[in-house]
Structure 1
Amino acid sequence: MSAVNGTNGAGGTPKISLRGVRKAFGPKVVLDGIDLDVARGESVVIIGGSGTGKSVLLKCILGILQPDQGTIRIDGEDTTHVTGREREAVMRKFGMLFQGAALFDSLPVWENVAFGLIQGQGVGRREAKERAIATLGAVGLTPEVADLFPSELSGGMQKRVGLARAICTRPEVIFFDEPTTGLDPIMSDVINDLIVKCVQDLGATALSITHDMASARKISNRIAMLHKGKLVWVGPTSEIDNSGNAFVDQFIHGRAEGPIQMQIRAF
């Protein structure tokens, strides 16, 4: 399968559906007509080099940025330009693991994990802490960690706390932004295993962006490659090594030679 769009074969309305999504910043076109469906319960990973528009695509889906053209639908509803309470209702369906975990330094771990419960759902602090501790257990952290501050945690522990925060509200869709950045290979694999387990336990839909192929292979059902604002290949993860696509082949093998030409500044 080498089509630029398609689902994993599941029927019904896609959980996420993008059609003709375009975004430019001045003369620079970052997204150039993106079509992509993500089925309910599916895990799709978008790969591509730095600066190819992966983060911009996520921000458009989240509503942080608005596309210049095209539509974004969640559960069949057009959310491209919704604001206010309508946007808040959409956001309640989402969980997010940020690159670098992005924890609040001034809050203890449990309040970081329970932030969405307290601020977004009005859950009382006692119940929120209990749920946060239970969620920390789901990512392999003991109750004692709950009262620590982010600065007291290793990078791998911070990433686990970020994952706990992403799943604590039991979201329908979880976004992962470079989930293994800054981690050693062993801890990266631990985080990948936790992502797979947590997404499956929740029955959630997952959309991730990464340039880490080990992570992409482990956490996805399908992979889509973004290059110069376009999805140049979308297919099952099992077919990535036999994609027949020169861009994909160069990227997954990390070759300097190929159709992807890196811009190197001369000094």
Structure 2
Amino acid sequence: MATTLHTGPKIKLTEVVKRFGDKSVLDGVNLSVEPGESVAIIGGSGTGKSVTLKCILGLLTPDSGSVQVDGQEIVGARTHEMEKIRSKFGMLFQGGALFDSMPIWRNVTFGLTRGKMRRAADMRKIAEENLERVGLGRDILNLRPNELSGGMQKRVALARAIAPRPEIIFFDEPTTGLDPIRADMINDLITSLVVDLGVTALTITHDMASARKIANRVAMLYNGRIIWHGPRDRLYDSGNPYVDQFVQGRADGPIR
């Protein structure tokens, strides 16, 4: 029997609810991300952006609703099914999350080796190739993360995220801790990598410059729901008072 290829959204959330005690962090989230699309979720601190990513990765289980990747339901999936689904993802963590005890080449290839020493020469070559993609040279292969600047650490973390050639990459506040120039360099790098590698990207950020540069489409999360989504060009012309207040950074408005 021929295998039927999934032709729908790469990621689809339908009425996703997640509570912690009496607090509803997600209260009916609906979001679709198409294959090859780059979507940014914006919103204030504590609005549930990170919880949304964790529900997609299966690290948190929604109280109700559906989360699908390539049409496959994650909620209730068995362990071996989740392992296959997670293999489709790469992740750029907010703080980089590099291992200080490991040299750069082992950090970059960690997702391929799961921390085990395998074929060191091959792994070093893979690390070198991926570092080159993010504008870094082989001269840092044996250095430790604490010997690099914050911007270089971000690039190493990005090299690690793309090394397994994932189908989907999550970017968690990719410009946090960087000055405006280095942040813009990282945004440019992410944009070019997403296009070159043909991946689907989902970014969570409160950096409007980052959202406008990285994403094709932007969605705003507020009070546990997606209250607006649209092309990045409409971000500052959304017609939504909540979005307008947030992107303009005004104290006055419906967001308290």
Alignment equivalent of 2:23, drawn from 17, 25, 28: 28
Report deviation, 1:83. 3.5
Counterpart among 114, 130, 148 of residue 119 in structure 1: 114
Q: What corresponds to 1:182 in structure 2?
A: 177
- Whether 1:153 and 2:164 are equivalent positions in the alignment is no
SS of 2:141's partner is helix
Q: Is there any run of 5+ residues in structure 1 with no aligned partner, and where?
A: 1-10, 262-267
Aligned partner of 1:77 in structure 2 is: 72
Q: Secondary structure at the match of 2:114?
A: helix
Question: Residues 46-195 of structure 1: matches in 2 within 5 Å?
Answer: 46-119=41-114, 124-195=119-190
Please, which of 210, 217, 232 is the counterpart of residue 212 of structure 2? Answer: 217
Distance 1:20 1:201 in 2: 33
The equivalent residue for 1:3 is: none
How far did 1:122 drift?
A: 9.4
Deviations, residues 57-86 of structure 1 (Å, cap 9, x unaligned)? 011111111111011110011112224221
- 1:93 maps to amino acid: K
Distance 1:136 1:150 in 2: 13
% identical aligned pairs: 59
Aligned to 1:244: 239
77-86 or 128-137: which moved more? 77-86
Deviation at 1:128, TM superposition (A): 1.7
Contact 1:117 1:123 in 2 (8 A): no
Letter in 1 for 2:255: I
CA distance in 1, matches of 2:209, 2:186: 12
2: CA distance, partners of 1:125 / 1:171: 22
Query: Taking structure 1 as reference, are residues 78 and 120 closer, same or farther at Cα in structure 2, changes over 3 Å only?
Result: farther
AA aligned opposite 2:183: S
Alignment of 1:193-204 (within 5 A): 193-204=188-199
TM-score by length of 1: 0.91
Aligned residues: 251
Contact preservation (8 Å) 1:118, 1:125 = no
In the alignment, the residues of structure 1 paired with residue 67 and residue 115 of structure 2 have an alpha-carbon distance, to the nearest angstrom, of 23
Matched residue of 1:13: which SS? coil
User: Which consecutive unaligned segments of at least 5 residues does structure 2 have?
Assistant: 1-5
Q: C-alpha distance in 2, partners of 1:149/1:211? A: 30
1:189-243: CA deviations, max 9, x gaps? 0000110111111100000100000000000000000011011101111111211
Q: Which amino acid aligns with 1:196?
A: T
C-alpha RMSD over aligned residues: 1.5
Distance 1:146 1:89 in 2: 30
